[in-house]
Amino acid sequence: MKIVGVDFGGTTFTVGLVDAESGEILKEEQHETRAWEGFERITCRIAEVINSIKEDAKAVGIGSPGSILGGVVKFSPNLPDWKDVPLADRIGKLTGIPTFVENDANAFVLGEKWFGAGKGYDHIVALTLGTGVGGGVITHGILLKGYMGIGAELGHVIVEPNGPKCGCGNHGCLEAIASATAIVRMAKEMKKDFLDSEIFRSDRISARVVMDAARNGDKLGTIIRDRMVDALGRAIAGFAHIFNPQIVILGGGVSRAGDVILKPLKEKVESYLMPSFVGTFDVVISPLLDRAGVLGAASVALENVGR
Amino acid sequence: MKIVGVDFGGTTFTVGLVDAESGEILKEEQHETRAWEGFERITCRIAEVINSIKEDAKAVGIGSPGSILGGVVKFSPNLPDWKDVPLADRIGKLTGIPTFVENDANAFVLGEKWFGAGKGYDHIVALTLGTGVGGGVITHGILLKGYMGIGAELGHVIVEPNGPKCGCGNHGCLEAIASATAIVRMAKEMKKDFLDSEIFRSDRISARVVMDAARNGDKLGTIIRDRMVDALGRAIAGFAHIFNPQIVILGGGVSRAGDVILKPLKEKVESYLMPSFVGTFDVVISPLLDRAGVLGAASVALENVGR
């Protein structure tokens, strides 16, 4: 059985034809989103790509940023005219295939459940550490969405009271400390005291540059890594106390830093756990890597039509 | 239809015969637990009371402190020999009535769902502010227990990094700031700087005395109330971001303080919410009051056998 997965973002979208059994991506195309073109034209182009690679696919799954309920994008931060747009319905009509939509962090945790580190588990907490921090939770086998479908905002739990300002308006959210954006911001803010840090030898400061510096023992890199790991550790321990999960899975660009985050993070998480929770779950980095977006999107469809 | 509810605690237990439709408690008896007597004798005495008031009750529900899975008490902090004891099974055998057990905070949220402020809701977050802080969550209609049944420990989410030491070994847990125990501890710790506070005119400092002082505008009472409300507000906003609930319900002795907590708390919660969550749920104090224990316990049975 084949499924189409559409990893839709504000900058690019990727359409993949996925073997539902193996998770192999049989065909894949990436295109620019061109957000300024608006809902009608963008969805036309997405449908065209789907139609060109779909073969006998049984369903289409889409992972999209924003707040999504029942196939409708209620709003999406980087797509100004996407307000209450019937994304699933429109793509379904343009392709003739049943189409299902979830927000990208929810798609991520579904991808892990169907193809990744969450296979066979009914209790999964997932965090995507990218431009922002997204959350996806499967509890008792159910994707946690909440009353209006806007829940699982794990990135907006406050981990540092009176901490750095977050894009959401609050202070000290996990996103304001553990996202790529936050890591870069912290490096820039502390530049004047760490002028000789290797971070500032790069043309462009990125989360990767900062984490590479931490790996090399650079002082500023280490300070930022430690602060991020401490906040993330506290948050994950909290999520564990709440959900009693079997596994916690990290994805997104920042998670690619690997052991320089994961090793100290596991220690931090353990230090913040109640004794009865120690050893009850593992913290891992998503094994899906570049396939996480398309496989997550495909899993949105699988979650609805079955394998 | 009638149901027996057993509100079981380390000091006393209360057995009530409940009308499943109206939630009226038709008969009720309270007895000392005498924890030192051990599992066998205590359960004999509970069963005796059940048998004396049960009439034609269809099921027995028990709310018990501790970690409970499948009717078995894995451990219970104030009942030293209660380790892996088959509580549901034993009471069922001694009474001849199907018996179901949940931890007391889970029983509380079920009681709210069946008889209290959560009637008709599928997304409920409940907190019991007592000796400790317990949590109960219903999400998508399901009682959240987690993989091993030890989840929903909402009292052990860290709200003040490096804050006061909690009984669980961590620092700055919600329980270490918002429980009755924590309120009394804070008053005692700050006594030397507030010797003229009305709190210290009482023979025995209790959470109630502190909250009464706050209501009277006492400086120390207000400081403690504000700190507690701030921590609780941050925690509740976080739970809202995670669960997107329809209602947040407070129970336990501390919640009886009423408006002196609730009014500032609602403002705090709102200040800590992302804009899209403002106005999506209410924060209320349990309307069940003294009936919360028995009705919560009875609801554990109803959740299993239906009304």
Q: How would residue A67 be classed by pLDDT, with cut points 50, 70 and 90?
A: confident
Q: Is-contact B272 B234, C-beta < 8 A? A: yes
Residues 6+ apart with CB under 8 A from B168: A274, A275, B156, B175
Are the Cβ atoms of A274 and B168 closer than 8 angstroms?
yes
| ipTM score assigned to the predicted complex | 0.95
Mean of pLDDT values over A178-197: 97
Query: Is residue A77 scored above 80 in pLDDT?
Result: no
User: Residue A87 corresponds to which tokens in the numbers above?
Assistant: 């994304």
Q: Tell me: the pLDDT tens digits for B224-240?
A: 999 999 999 999 999 99
| Strand B60-64, strand B2-8: pairing | parallel
Q: How much of chain A, in percent, has pLDDT values that exceed 90?
A: 94
Q: Which of B140, B150, B157 sits opposite A277 (nearest CB)?
A: B150
In sequence order, which ranges of chain B are alpha helices (DSSP H)? 38-53, 87-95, 104-115, 175-178, 180-189, 207-215, 219-243, 259-272, 292-305
Q: How would residue B266 be classed by pLDDT, with cut points 50, 70 and 90?
A: very high
Chain A residues with beta carbon closer than 8 angstroms to that of B145: 140, 244
Q: Which CATH architecture group holds B119-287?
A: 2-Layer Sandwich (3.30)
- CA distances from residue A270 to A264, A266, A273, A300 in whole angstroms, order as listed: 10, 6, 5, 32
* Fold match between domain A2-111+291-305 and domain A120-286: yes
Chain B residues with beta carbon closer than 8 angstroms to that of A161: 159-161, 230, 234
Chain B contact present for A139, CB below 8 A: yes
Determine the CATH number of domain A2-111+291-305: 3.30.420.40
* CA gap A158, A78 in Å, rounded: 23
CATH fold of A120-286 reads: Nucleotidyltransferase; domain 5 (3.30.420)
User: Residue B301 corresponds to which tokens in the numbers above?
Assistant: 């049975």
Alpha carbon of residue A33 to chain centroid: 18
Chain B residues with beta carbon closer than 8 angstroms to that of A148: 244, 280
Mean of pLDDT values over B138-142: 97
User: Residue B31 corresponds to which tokens in the numbers above?
Assistant: 């007895």
Q: How would residue B302 be classed by pLDDT, with cut points 50, 70 and 90?
A: very high
* CA gap B70, B100 in Å, rounded: 8
User: Residue B266 corresponds to which tokens in the numbers above?
Assistant: 């609602």
- CA distances from residue B212 to A10, B202, B215, B264 in whole angstroms, order as listed: 53, 11, 5, 15
- Residue B306's CB is within 10 A of a number of other CB atoms, namely 10
> Helix or strand or coil: residue A171?
strand
Are the Cβ atoms of A151 and B234 closer than 8 angstroms?
no
User: Residue B302 corresponds to which tokens in the numbers above?
Assistant: 């109803």
pLDDT of residue B91: 98
pLDDT of residue B80: 82
Are the Cβ atoms of B241 and A170 closer than 8 angstroms?
no
Are the Cβ atoms of A161 and B159 closer than 8 angstroms?
yes
Chain B contact present for A167, CB below 8 A: no
Q: Tell me: the pLDDT tens digits for B75-134?
A: 887 788 899 999 999 999 999 999 999 999 999 999 999 999 999 999 999 999 999 999
For the stretch B23-44, what's the b/e string if a residue is b when 16 or more beta carbons lie within 10 angstroms of its beta carbon? bebeebeeeebebeeebeebbe
Q: Which helix (H) or strand (E) holds B31?
A: strand B25-32
Q: Is-contact A118 A196, C-beta < 8 A? A: no
Are the Cβ atoms of B244 and A145 closer than 8 angstroms?
yes
pLDDT of residue B201: 97
pLDDT of residue B71: 93
Residues 6+ apart with CB under 8 A from B17: B2, B3, B4, B25, B26, B27, B28, B53, B54, B55, B57
- Average model confidence (pLDDT) across chain A: 96
Chain A residues with beta carbon closer than 8 angstroms to that of B274: 153, 156, 168-170
User: Residue A140 corresponds to which tokens in the numbers above?
Assistant: 């008792």
Q: Tell me: the pLDDT tens digits for B202-220?
A: 999 999 999 999 999 999 9
Chain B contact present for A276, CB below 8 A: yes
* CA gap B223, B30 in Å, rounded: 37
Residue B152 C-alpha, separation from nearest chain A C-alpha, in angstroms: 4
Chain B contact present for A152, CB below 8 A: yes
Q: How much of chain B, in percent, has pLDDT values that exceed 90?
A: 94
Q: Is-contact B26 B18, C-beta < 8 A? A: yes
pLDDT of residue A307: 87
pLDDT of residue A79: 86
Interface test with B, best of A83, A106, A123, A139 (most B CBs within 10 A): A139
Task: Kindly identify which residue of chain A lies nearest to residue B149, measuring between CA atoms.
Answer: A244
DSSP A43-107: HHHHHHHHHHH-TT-S-EEEEESSEEETTEEEE-TT-TT-SSB-HHHHHHHHHTS-EEEEEHHHH
Interface test with A, best of B121, B138, B242, B273 (most A CBs within 10 A): B242
Q: Tell me: the pLDDT tens digits for A34-60?
A: 999 999 999 999 999 999 999 999 999
Residue B81 C-alpha, separation from nearest chain A C-alpha, in angstroms: 17
Q: Which of A151, A161, A276 sits opposite B160 (nearest CB)?
A: A161
| Amino acid type, A113 | K
Are the Cβ atoms of A170 and B274 closer than 8 angstroms?
yes
Mean of pLDDT values over A299-307: 95
Report CA torsion sign: B13, B14, B15, B18: negative
- CA distances from residue A92 to A60, A165, B85, B157 in whole angstroms, order as listed: 8, 40, 54, 42
Query: Is residue A78 scored above 80 in pLDDT?
Result: no
Chain B contact present for A200, CB below 8 A: no
Domain range annotation of chain B? 2-111+291-305, 119-287
| Selection from A221, A234, A225 nearest residue A174 by Cα | A234
